Amino acid sequence: MRIWSSAKGKSVMTLKLPYLKKRGSAVDPGVRERLWLHVHWPKGRPTQLVSSCFGGELVMWDLTRTGKQRWTLFGTSSEGQNHNRIVFNMSSVRLQDDRELLISTSMDREIKCWDLASLDCCWTLPTLGGFVYALTFSPVGAGCLALGVGDSMIRVWNTLTTQNQYDTRCFWQGIKSKVTALAWHPTKEGSLSFGTDDGKVGIFEVFSNRPPQISSSYHRKTVYTLAWGPAVPPMSFGAAGGKPALSLYSCAGEGVILQHDPSKLSGEASDIDKLIRDTNDIKHKLSPHTDFSWKPDGKVVAIGNEDGCIEVYEAPGLKLLCSIQQHHKIINTLRWHHDHDSPPELHCLLASGSSNATVYVHDLRSIIENPPESPVVLTEPYRRLCGHTAKITGMAWSPHHEARLVTVSYDGTAQVWDVLQEAAVSNYRGHLGYLLCVDWSPDDPDVIWTGGKDFTLQEWKVSKQEFTKPPKGKKMVDLREKMKTNPKQKRKNKKAPGAGGAAPPETNGEPVAGGEKVATGQELSGEDEEDEVSSTNSPLPPSVSVTFEMQRKPVTAIKSKDKPDLNLLKKKKPRSMLPLSTSMDHRPKEDLLQDCITLASVRHSSAPPAGCVPGQGDHIHLGLFSDRQALYRMFEAEEEAHVEAGHHDSVVYLRLWSGDLEGALQLATEKGELSDHLLSIAPMAGFEVWRRTVEAFVKQLCLQEQYLKAASHLLSINQLYEAVDLLRSHKLHREAIALVKARLPADEPVLKELYTCWAATLEKDGHFSAAAKCFLAAGASFDAAKVIARKNDVPSLRTAAGLARISGEAALAQSLALRCAKDLAAAQDWIGAQEVLSSQESLLVHRLHLCVAALMTAMLADSEAAAQPRASGHHVSIQDQVRDAWEKQFGVSPDSAGHRSAGALLQELKSAESPTPTANIPLRQVQLYSSLHLTRAVLSWLLGDDGQLIKELWQAVAWLRDAGHFGVSAELCRLLFPDNDVSVCSRKHSKVLHHTEEEPEAAAKSLQAFVDYHHLYEHWWSNSIQIQSRSPPPAADSGPGDEVEGKAANGDATEESVSPETQSRDKLDFDASVLLSEQHAACQATQRSVSEIQQRLAAMVLKHSRAQGGQLDSGEKEADAPTQISAEPSESQGSGDAGQRPEEQETLLSLSTKMSEHQKRLVDLPDTIKMYPHPDVVECCLVLLHLSKSSQSSPSVSESLQQKAKDLLRKYGTDASVFKASQQFLT
């Protein structure tokens, strides 16, 4: 045992149990395995601990003591105080007088009370853990009572002790089941024989500690009765030579009485039936024995049988003297009257009790004193004792009275009788439930002991009982009334099979406890029916009824119609194969008896009776008992009956039995009732019959949808291809393929067909991976890769690409890898995308593209995270980083050759087209398209193609701008040109661009203009932050021309005082003249005019179409008012023709003329102007003038630049809002 500190969570002390050797017994090595250790810490005793030990001892531990002996044993002052089995539980209590008591319970079924001060046992209370099956007083030891109990223990109680009221000893060694029978030796003190539920017979010497002697001859069922009697042959042979005069007899549930030699139980016991047969020359079968009783003088023995008959035999040869045929049911108990202190005429009284409720007493004096030459049959009793309402289970004659008998019954009462007067003396009703055993006290004439199913043994006085007779059961009263109104009930019950309680109750599949004495096929008489009912005046408590133990002598209550037997409902009787002949056996008894006469005449007469043909007509059932021809005639008649009833399976079996195998199979085939059994015997009729039967059975199985079984049967007749077709036609492709691969060569064409067919089915159902496996098995790798790619998610595309590459489908592998990489790149999983492409050497250029996209995305994200604009000239450009990454990771440089050369890579990349930019494309996708142009630009740089380089750079920036991501476009410009000079492509690699052609030069100017445009705004915003302008900067993603004009018009805010630090930063650090391109200003003004005219024309067409449709009513005129206004020049729409609005609405013709003029002007402009646009020139003029006005102390814009801006404003700033904003600079 360990003692733990709950605060520290660790063990502080370990106590080792003492191994106490019991006095007079060897140490059992197996006792350690059955240890149940209980610990109790008494309240108020922190240093003392009580624990149980190995064999039921209790130990007090002193936790303050040191050394090995820390314990003190309880109950050492006298012998036998401790429990003798393991202790289950303990509890302590403090009394009012300050005494402390400990209560303990044990496996020995005893409750003990201990004084904690002296450690002695104050008292012991024995308890019972099962039904009391047997009780008997020792004829030698006065007041020594033995109990056989259902808890597999025997108790021996000294009832006359004065010191301890419950002076009991328990015996359990060698007993493994319920103790159902006991018998003391008539002369040898302390010798107690016992019988158990599992058929064991043994002898205890109760005054020693030795284990019992067990007989080597076991009964197969429960032992009912034990008795000591004189030895009979063969054991009586040689008795004079020192053999004991008495033998031990046992009777058990299988109906056998065995004679055991008590001096040699290891020897084989003898069955007394052999002696009975030999002595009385009996050839027929003896009825099973259920009880027996030796007359006290040992001269005769009475044996009760299962059929209710009692036979009296004379010792030692066991000659049959008489047969008592009074009871009709199983005999449960027999008792001879004692022969001490009683008149001789009473010595031969034999009392008997059965499953009838009536007790019979027979006087056998004349037969015993004058044995007849042949056995006598007695049918009338000497006395009849009526009153019990259920079967009799036990009885005992009073040793103190003459002809005084006590009986116990299933009605729950014990009844004392005056036999000679046939009078009821006293009735005891103290038990709950039925009684099982009884004995009269040997020392007190007024005391009787009874035991029963309520787990109690009770002692009671005859003179103190309130009742004289047993209670009348309600069921008996109802039955008597029913018998009066329906006298036919008696005959009906006679016919009912099993109504007499023929079946023994069983528990867990074994015979019941106590071993039911079983009747087989008894018929009920009216008297029997009365005896069947049990009393209702003995209610069972819930605890008792829940722990119900089945008893011997069954309760066979009559079953009512409204309460059917559940066991019968569950087990349905199978249909008879020979119903006609069976039904003939259910006729009246007279007819059945006549059948016996008829059959005897047929068997023993040369000429049968007239009109009697066994197996036909009224004598069909006799075909079973006559010759084969008669049997065949009976079969024919039975077949006709089965066909009429539709029981064709029975006809098949009859034909089989008669040898017509082919006919049986033919019939089963026609009726669709072939079975595995019939098929298994079909080969006996020949191969052709078997083959036809198999094919018929296959069709039958297909109708029942048992396709696998059907295919297996086809294999048995070597029809492999048919089996495969059957499986395939029912979509069992997996099984069909397994069959083909197991049986046919690998190159079998049907295998490829199966794989292809299954793949199509799987693909249709969406099981793409399984379909791919089928295609692979069929050798169609291309289809396998395509079907996997149908899922179109990244794992599927990656798998499909790998599959195609392994299978040698290079083009498909590249296509799928590229699709997968694009999906991963869209999700910005750059590493995953590179891994997918790395397996394909030919996709190097796409890996370069993804490298550029990853760098560009990362650098844009970093620059957005930094709130302040970058200072110029301190950063490596993105194209430098790209070039370094290519050389390091992919080995691509100006010097690389072969498939890594810049020319070959650029040629591959030209095939990757990008769509037209729109505002609906997500930013991630836009960045991918932009990075594509950046990739081409870097490759052009490696080739030394400056013109292509600048055009691709322009495209990279324009993609972001045209898709509406203005701020991202500005950030990319800063990353491309940290010095704000587009001619400087790389400082690291000293690359300066020189353009000789018109288009690259126009692209360079456009790109420079946008770089300066973004720089101009940076300058303006940083200046506005310093002077705390009221106007916030426009959103990063908004267009440049919408809000800036209005903000530039608010020049009033620039009159604030400016600090010297600000003045030093007001100077523009770039050449802004590129922003003031007059050609682009003219082009932009013309484009604005065209857009305005298109809007006005559209409004006029809409208005005209509505007027034509007759839809202009008063309500719609109001709704169309905005449309009419929009057709006129508004304040927000500028005109390229004049600075003021026309007074009246223009006509369609005049607008069309103007449109033609503007379009002609646009056509006349150079293509490079339209292909490579500049930022809004008018807007740039307003911003520059605003900057010059806000820094008058030190102008940031030169006079010439200001003048050029004003000139351009006057010429092209004709729009109403621009005109208004420009007035403060032009006046």
- For residues 159 and 963, give the distance between their C-alpha atoms in angstroms, rounded to a whole number: 113
With bands split at pLDDT 50, 70 and 90, how would you rate the model's confidence at 956?
Answer: confident
- For residues 55 and 74, give the distance between their C-alpha atoms in angstroms, rounded to a whole number: 13
Instruction: Identify whether the C-beta of residue 1155 lies closer than 8 Å to the C-beta of residue 1097.
Output: yes
- For residues 501 and 557, give the distance between their C-alpha atoms in angstroms, rounded to a whole number: 8
Count Cβ atoms below 10 Å from residue 747 Cβ, excluding itself: 7
Per DSSP, the three-state class of 935 is helix
pLDDT surpassing 90 at residue 850: no
- Higher per-residue pLDDT: 1110 or 350: 350
Pairing between β-strand 319-324 and β-strand 376-378 as defined by DSSP bridges? parallel
Q: What mean pLDDT comes out for the span 676-681? A: 88
- So what's the pLDDT on residue 1044? 42
* DSSP, res 241: G
- For residues 103 and 522, give the distance between their C-alpha atoms in angstroms, rounded to a whole number: 53
- Higher per-residue pLDDT: 254 or 941: 254
Instruction: Identify whether the C-beta of residue 716 lies closer than 8 Å to the C-beta of residue 697.
Output: no
- For residues 363 and 346, give the distance between their C-alpha atoms in angstroms, rounded to a whole number: 8
User: For residue range 1157-1204, what is the model confidence (pLDDT) as tens digits?
Assistant: 888 888 888 888 888 899 988 889 888 888 887 765 556 778 888 888
- Sheet (strand 246-252) strand order: 223-230, 246-252, 257-260, 270-271
With bands split at pLDDT 50, 70 and 90, how would you rate the model's confidence at 1125?
Answer: very low
Per-residue tokens: 651:
């006809």
With bands split at pLDDT 50, 70 and 90, how would you rate the model's confidence at 875?
Answer: low
**Please, what's the b/e burial string for 907-928 (b: 16 or more CB within 10 A of its CB; e: otherwise)?**
ebbeeeeeeebeeebeeebbbb
- So what's the pLDDT on residue 553? 41
CB pairs under 8 A, 24+ apart, for 626-630? 626/599, 626/602
Per DSSP, the three-state class of 392 is strand
User: CA Rg, the chain, in Å?
Assistant: 59
Q: What mean pLDDT comes out for the span 38-52? A: 92
Show the 3-state SS of 24-89: CCCCCHHHHHHCCCCEECCCCCCCEEEEECCCCCEEEEECCCCCCCCEEECCCCCCCCCCCCCEEE
- For residues 851 and 729, give the distance between their C-alpha atoms in angstroms, rounded to a whole number: 54
- So what's the pLDDT on residue 837? 85
pLDDT surpassing 70 at residue 380: yes
User: For residue range 852-870, what is the model confidence (pLDDT) as tens digits?
Assistant: 988 888 888 887 666 444 4
With bands split at pLDDT 50, 70 and 90, how would you rate the model's confidence at 544?
Answer: very low
User: For residue range 295-339, what is the model confidence (pLDDT) as tens digits?
Assistant: 999 999 999 999 999 999 998 899 999 999 999 899 999 999 998
Phi and psi for 473 in degrees, rounded to 5? -75, 145
DSSP state string for 266-330: TSPPEEHHHHHHHHHT--SPPPPEEEEEE-TTSSEEEEEETTS-EEEEETTTTEEEEEE----S-
pLDDT surpassing 80 at residue 1117: no
With bands split at pLDDT 50, 70 and 90, how would you rate the model's confidence at 1042?
Answer: very low
- Sheet (strand 100-106) strand order: 87-94, 100-106, 110-115, 120-126
Q: Residue 183: name the closest of 237, 232, 271, 246 by CA.
A: 246
Average pLDDT, the chain: 81
- Percent of the chain scored above 90 by pLDDT? 37
The amino acid sitting at 772 is A
pLDDT surpassing 60 at residue 825: yes
With bands split at pLDDT 50, 70 and 90, how would you rate the model's confidence at 219?
Answer: very high
With bands split at pLDDT 50, 70 and 90, how would you rate the model's confidence at 204?
Answer: very high
Measured N-to-C along each axis, helices 966-976 and 844-865 cross at an angle, to the nearest 10 degrees, of 110
Instruction: Identify whether the C-beta of residue 727 lies closer than 8 Å to the C-beta of residue 736.
Output: yes
- The beta-strand segments (E) located in 781-904 are none
Instruction: Identify whether the C-beta of residue 1080 lies closer than 8 Å to the C-beta of residue 1169.
Output: yes
- The beta-strand segments (E) located in 895-943 are none
- So what's the pLDDT on residue 1118? 43
Whole-prediction pTM: 0.47
Count Cβ atoms below 10 Å from residue 69 Cβ, excluding itself: 9
- For residues 50 and 73, give the distance between their C-alpha atoms in angstroms, rounded to a whole number: 10
User: For residue range 481-518, what is the model confidence (pLDDT) as tens digits?
Assistant: 666 666 554 444 444 333 333 333 333 333 333 334 43
- For residues 1224 and 1186, give the distance between their C-alpha atoms in angstroms, rounded to a whole number: 10
DSSP state string for 793-811: SHHHHHHHHHHHHHTT-HH
- The beta-strand segments (E) located in 920-1054 are 984-986, 991-992
> Which region among 211-220, 376-385, 722-731, 1126-1135 has the lowest average model confidence (pLDDT)?
1126-1135
DSSP state string for 153-182: EEEEEETT-SS-TT-EEEE-TT--S-EEEE
- So what's the pLDDT on residue 1026? 63
Instruction: Identify whether the C-beta of residue 148 lies closer than 8 Å to the C-beta of residue 222.
Output: no
DSSP state string for 1040-1108: TTTSHHHHHH-GGGGGS---HHHHHH-S-SS-GGGG--HHHHHHHHHHHHHHHHHHHHHHHHHHHHHHH
- For residues 546 and 458, give the distance between their C-alpha atoms in angstroms, rounded to a whole number: 22
Q: What mean pLDDT comes out for the span 237-259? A: 82
- So what's the pLDDT on residue 334? 97
- For residues 290 and 294, give the distance between their C-alpha atoms in angstroms, rounded to a whole number: 14
> Which region among 189-198, 450-459, 658-667, 700-709 has the lowest average model confidence (pLDDT)?
658-667
